[in-house]
Amino acid sequence: MFHSSLPNKALPNIINFVDSQCALKFSKLYTPNNILGKGPDGLVCSYEHNTSRAVIAPKVPRAPRNANDDTTASILKEIWNLSQLGQHKHIIGMLTYSDYHISSGPVIFLELCNLGDPVSHRNNWSQHVLVHNCLKPANILVTIPDGYSMKDGIPNEPIFKIVDSARLVPFPTPDGNALERWRGAYEFDPSPKERETPIQTSGDIYSLGVTTQWFALDVDPVQTREAFRSCQKARALNHPGRLDDNAWNSFWRKLRIAVYRSLNASRTELKGKFDLSYAGRGYEPYSTPPNIWYQTLWNVDEVKRITSRTLVEHLVPYNDSSISTAKEMERAEECLERARKIREQLRAKKAVRLVTLHAKVVPKAPSYEGTIGVSL
């Protein structure tokens, strides 16, 4: 049973994962495979059931069990948050949990997202609006749809799941609670001004825009080192050396803000207008409509920034319609291609028939047998 300070009435109604709450039985029934991910709070590994071959992903604190340990408290808070969220196809599912798992302390048994790392979602399964507070590519995993076979290759339409709910906070802040500040990764956070003000749902939207850029362009979404150094020099402020990786990855990291880069720009435009010297391998500009939606995620005014409700009510149906249209066009092109091949086959057969018919009507050619070596 769960013996933390959480009230009994808040315990989640979840799947009873057989024997997972008994550490000794678990160690006999499951074999560890590999580490799936590490974060400041926890460590996630995959375990395979010895008979059914089912694979799950337990998450444990990174530090040893200690009543006052921050990582242990973070895991307990994530259990609470996941229990409040319940089950949703776009959020990593908690199968069950254990208060004490050998020497690791509390553990969350998570479903496995079998396609790993590499989006948008709506919290309509909860009476509260919730802010993820750390939306970034590493916290979005990909899995195959139900009933899909990997024998058919990587699916064109996989299921994306948001993970790491340890920093999840309700909005607006409940009465009596301390105001929360942004605590995500600097590279995918809103502007420094927004980080210092009470947390808003608009921060997740901004992070979604930054994450979209990372996915589309395959680049760091922040200012380039050259651009950052130029800005600092223009303001007569200090700046790190261009090749000083230690400095860039420590103090200066939080000062390099994410910058908007168009997704329908050419490589030349990205370099000349959007502080980007290169784009990912195979980059092709996107069309204008998705770029217009993408722009709305980057509005610097958090009050005017597009909301998740608008995205769900308008962008999601638009994308669904676009995908359906693309599928129909692909099927039409396949039909046209089959028709082209059939026409070619018919033309080839007709040519063979004409040649055969022509051979039947041509007079018999004279024989030259016996003429070899004869002097005329």
pLDDT of 121 reads 31
Low-confidence winner among 1-5, 164-168, 201-205 (lowest mean pLDDT): 1-5
Does 268 score more than 80 pLDDT? Answer: yes
The C-alpha atoms of residue 342 and residue 339 are separated, in whole angstroms, by: 5
Domain count, the chain: 2
Low-confidence winner among 32-36, 139-143, 186-190, 337-341 (lowest mean pLDDT): 32-36
What's the domain range around 66? Answer: 1-112
Tens-digit pLDDT profile for residues 304-339: 999 998 999 999 898 888 888 888 998 999 999 999
CATH at 56: 3.30.200.20
**Residue at 273 is within a domain:** no
**Residue at 147 is within a domain:** no
Which residue, of 56, 80, 112, is where some domain finishes? 112
**DSSP characters for 110-131?**
EEP-TT--------TTSSSEEE
The C-alpha atoms of residue 202 and residue 367 are separated, in whole angstroms, by: 92
**Residue at 322 is within a domain:** yes
Low-confidence winner among 69-78, 139-148, 282-291 (lowest mean pLDDT): 69-78
Q: Which of 143, 146, 274 lies closest to 219, judged by CA?
A: 274
Q: How confident is the model at residue 102 (pLDDT cuts 50, 70, 90)?
A: low
**Residue at 196 is within a domain:** no
Query: Which one is predicted more confidently, 266 or 105?
Result: 266
Q: How confident is the model at residue 208 (pLDDT cuts 50, 70, 90)?
A: very high
Does 359 score more than 80 pLDDT? Answer: no
Residues 6+ apart with CB under 8 A from 123: 85, 129, 130, 308
**Residue at 371 is within a domain:** no
**Residue at 106 is within a domain:** yes
The C-alpha atoms of residue 154 and residue 143 are separated, in whole angstroms, by: 10
The C-alpha atoms of residue 152 and residue 114 are separated, in whole angstroms, by: 15
What percent of the chain has pLDDT above 70? 80
pLDDT of 90 reads 73
pTM: 0.62
**Residue at 307 is within a domain:** no
Task: Classify 56 as helix, strand or coil.
Answer: strand
Does 50 score more than 90 pLDDT? Answer: no
Tens-digit pLDDT profile for residues 238-267: 988 988 888 888 888 888 889 999 999 998
State the DSSP H helix or E strand holding residue 37, giving kind and residue range, or none if neither: strand 30-38
Per-residue exposure over 276-310, b if at least 16 CB sit within 10 Å of its own CB, e if not: beebeeebebeeeebeebbebbbbeebeebbebee
* pLDDT (average), residues 218-227: 90
Check if the beta carbon of residue 204 is closer than 8 Å to that of residue 135. Answer: yes
The C-alpha atoms of residue 290 and residue 262 are separated, in whole angstroms, by: 10
Which residue, of 83, 112, 141, is where some domain finishes? 112
**CA 237 to each of CA 228, 230, 248: distance values in angstroms, whole numbers, following the listed order:** 11, 10, 15
**Residue at 373 is within a domain:** no
